[in-house]
């Protein structure tokens, strides 16, 4: 008599179901390990700890007393080259009183748009476009071949009309041509530049550094202390600044008697910006949970298929067992 539990079909069944069960348990264990590791990996890679928000400029102003204009000139008589300077800063005007300073004035204007929604802020205005014009009196014996601008700008930007952030920018534009210039029209779009994310909550120290002016003329006592290269290098190391993009430079040439009056126009568009913030802890937990559930939804289908293959298809077939003679 051959016992049924020692029958080859029965042994094959136990061996098959045991091996497939082992594979099933191994794969499920692997999935249980992969899902948390995938979550941790994506979080450490910067997602979802970074949140992007659309923001609008709520206030912008040109810093006229921080503006510096440099003109590259050529003498009509001697043919030698030189530079002329213009600034409205009293400190620099006093320091450079023996230099080749240009007299002139600047005017600013801006176009604002009316806010209609949300209803809480309906009726308020937001800046949409800004313009600054410089009218400078140049020596009629000089030809202007090029110009370089350093125009600081200070703005407030906020997402959803709350929690305004201070940010400054240094608009630096340079143009050098072959023919004598009588003016320059410059236009562009103002954009934010970030090297790191902003804190989710208001940070007093962060806000202090973001609104520091590019130039600190009050501490300058002589021309030797004014190192423009060092100032620009320190400004470029900031984490949150403004830049002028999509710039257009249109020079104007004139041979009339008014050639001594040099005109510079700078027009800036102020569109919406995308800012990167640190994700608050509660939001990070929420998105981590969503990520976890999403991965399990994706893995549920192959797990169900494997479960059905392992436990539903392993049915012991009927076997005729003979015993005795």
The pLDDT assigned to 9 comes to 62
The pLDDT assigned to 16 comes to 58
Question: CA torsion angle for 15, 20, 24, 29 (degrees, to 10)?
Answer: 50
The pLDDT assigned to 268 comes to 92
**Residue 231: HSE in the Cβ half-sphere, 13 Å Cα cutoff:** 19
Q: Does pLDDT of 318 surpass 50?
A: no
Range 144-165 average pLDDT: 83
Range 26-40 average pLDDT: 69
Residue-wise pLDDT for 279-304, tens only, equals: 777 776 777 777 777 777 777 777 77
Q: Does pLDDT of 319 surpass 60?
A: no
Q: Indicate the pLDDT class of residue 315, thresholds 50, 70 and 90.
A: very low
**CA separation for the pair 85, 138 (Å, rounded):** 10
Q: Which residues of 69-94 are buried (b: 16+ CB within 10 A; e: fewer)?
A: bbbbbeeeeeeeeeebebbbbebbee
Q: Does pLDDT of 258 surpass 80?
A: no
Q: Indicate the pLDDT class of residue 182, thresholds 50, 70 and 90.
A: confident
Higher pLDDT, 134 or 5: 134
Q: Does pLDDT of 1 surpass 50?
A: no
- This model's pTM is above 0.75: no
The ranges assigned to domains in the chain are: 4-47+280-311, 52-278
Q: DSSP letter string over 190-220? A: EEEEESSPBPSS--HHHHHHHT--S--GGG-
Mean pLDDT (the chain, rounded)? 76
Q: Does pLDDT of 162 surpass 70?
A: no
- Picking from 138, 149, 151, the residue whose alpha carbon sits closest to that of residue 181 is 138
- Picking from 115, 93, 94, 111, the residue whose alpha carbon sits closest to that of residue 102 is 93
């Amino acid at each position: 008599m051959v016992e049924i539990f020692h029958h080859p079909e029965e042994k094959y069944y136990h061996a098959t179901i045991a091996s497939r069960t082992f594979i099933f348990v191994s794969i499920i264990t692997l999935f249980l390990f992969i899902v948390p590791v995938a979550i941790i990996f994506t979080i450490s890679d910067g997602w979802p700890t970074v949140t992007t928000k659309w923001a609008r400029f709520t206030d912008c102003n040109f810093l006229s007393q921080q503006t510096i204009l440099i003109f590259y000139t050529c003498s009509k008589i001697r043919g030698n080259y030189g530079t002329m300077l213009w600034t409205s800063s009293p400190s620099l005007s006093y320091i450079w009183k023996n230099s080749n300073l240009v007299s002139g004035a600047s005017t600013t204007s801006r176009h604002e748009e009316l806010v209609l929604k949300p209803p809480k802020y309906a009726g308020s205005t937001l800046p949409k476009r800004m313009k600054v014009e410089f009218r400078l009196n140049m020596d009629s014996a000089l030809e202007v071949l090029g110009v370089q601008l350093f125009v600081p700008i200070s703005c407030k930007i906020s997402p959803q009309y709350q929690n305004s952030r201070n940010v400054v920018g240094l608009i630096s534009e340079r143009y050098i041509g072959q023919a004598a210039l009588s003016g320059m029209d410059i236009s562009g779009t103002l954009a934010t530049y970030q090297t790191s994310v902003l804190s989710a909550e208001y940070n007093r120290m962060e806000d202090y550094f973001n609104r520091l002016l590019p130039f600190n003329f009050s501490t300058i006592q002589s021309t030797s202390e004014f190192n423009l290269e060092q100032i620009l290098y320190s400004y470029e190391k900031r984490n949150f600044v403004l830049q002028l993009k999509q710039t257009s430079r249109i020079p104007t040439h004139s041979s009339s008697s008014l050639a001594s009056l040099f005109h510079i126009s700078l027009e800036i568009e102020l569109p919406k910006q995308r800012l990167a913030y640190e994700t608050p802890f509660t939001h990070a937990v929420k998105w981590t949970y969503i990520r976890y559930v999403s991965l399990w939804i994706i893995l549920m289908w192959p797990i169900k298929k494997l479960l059905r293959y392992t436990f539903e298809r392993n049915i012991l077939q009927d076997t005729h067992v003979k015993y005795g003679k």
